[in-house]
Amino acid sequence: MKVFLTGASGLLGNTLALQFLEQGWQVHATSHTHRPVDPRLNLHSINLANTSEIAPLLESIQPQAIVNAAALTYPNACEKNPHLSKALNLSLPEALAQYVVEKGIRFIHFSTDLVFNGKRGNYTPKCSTNPTNLYGKHKLAAEHATQSTYSQTCIIRLPLLNGNSPSGARSVHEALWQEWKQSKVTPLFEDEWRSPISVSNVAQLTVELIGQPEIHGLFHWAGENRINRWVMGNLIAEQLDVPKYLLQKTLAANFEQFKDRPLNLTMDSSKLKALVQTKPAPFKNQLAEMTRPDK
């Protein structure tokens, strides 16, 4: 299998790349500002924000599957640089869909739980969307664009992701560790609920989905455990051996700057679970994978 993977140096993309390589697949990965380190990768230096570069590269590679894990994922960064957000979160997946529609190859694209406003939780793929920030709006537009261009697109909405990133600063526990190692007290919201999943579990699912092109459409893939930020932070602190006095229980509602923050983005994955052998990893398994970035 020859796979073209975008975003291979990110939290999810790096784990996908390693999982694909373990299958014995030939992996062609993009690299721009950060370079994945595994020497088995076929790296291509390309600016994904310039979509005119994509089709010529793909023609030279002739992949059998395309997996799009590239995105500008920080909502604040999207607000500060809306042109880059549109290029990476909307124009890129649309350009990939335009390529695959002519080839009829497998195309997997990752979206986000932030297409919802977080008012109700336990969202299914049929629930109404109402993103509250530019990141969610661009990702939702990308869902519509890819599906309308290539009906066989497999779109997976993902929740908060856990795992160990190449930079040591991309995932939840890594971001918390950056605060805790400086003995900073971290406010954790008791009123913000998520259903996190590990990138290793998503990678396992993706391998299975690449081999099942009959599975396409819009799906959710989230952890089985509904958990708030306060409980999550306490469990992570125990895993990383961090003193509990560095954790502060509070409410997002207490902060004016978070008045529009989605509070309940839990998702229902039953639609996809019924079609695949992979099962979502429980939070205790995700915890066991977490390592301190300084080790």
Domain ranges of the chain: 2-165+196-225+266-281
Q: What is the dihedral of CA 25, 292, 182, 79, to 10 degrees?
A: 30
Give the DSSP H/E element, type plus range, for residue 66. strand 65-68
Question: What's the CA gap between 239 and 290, in Å, rounded?
Answer: 8
> Tens place of pLDDT for every residue, the chain, 295 residues?
999 999 998 899 999 999 999 999 999 998 766 666 688 999 998 899 999 999 999 999 999 999 999 999 999 999 999 999 999 999 999 999 999 999 999 999 999 999 999 999 999 999 999 999 999 999 999 999 999 999 999 999 999 999 998 888 889 999 999 999 999 999 999 999 999 999 999 999 999 999 999 999 999 999 999 999 999 999 999 999 999 999 999 999 888 888 778 999 999 999 999 999 999 999 999 999 999 987 6
Per the document, the length of the chain is 295
The pTM for the full model equals 0.95
CATH, domain 2-165+196-225+266-281, list 1.20.1340.10, 3.40.640.10, 3.40.50.720, 3.90.1010.10 = 3.40.50.720
Task: Identify whether the C-beta of residue 195 lies closer than 8 Å to the C-beta of residue 222.
Answer: yes
Q: Are strands 65-68 and 106-112 parallel, antiparallel or unpaired?
A: parallel
Q: Who's near 90: CB < 8 A, 6+ residues apart?
A: 138, 139, 141, 142, 145
217 sits in the region (left: phi over 0; alpha: psi -120 to 50; else beta) called left
Radius of gyration of the chain from its Cα atoms, rounded to whole angstroms: 19
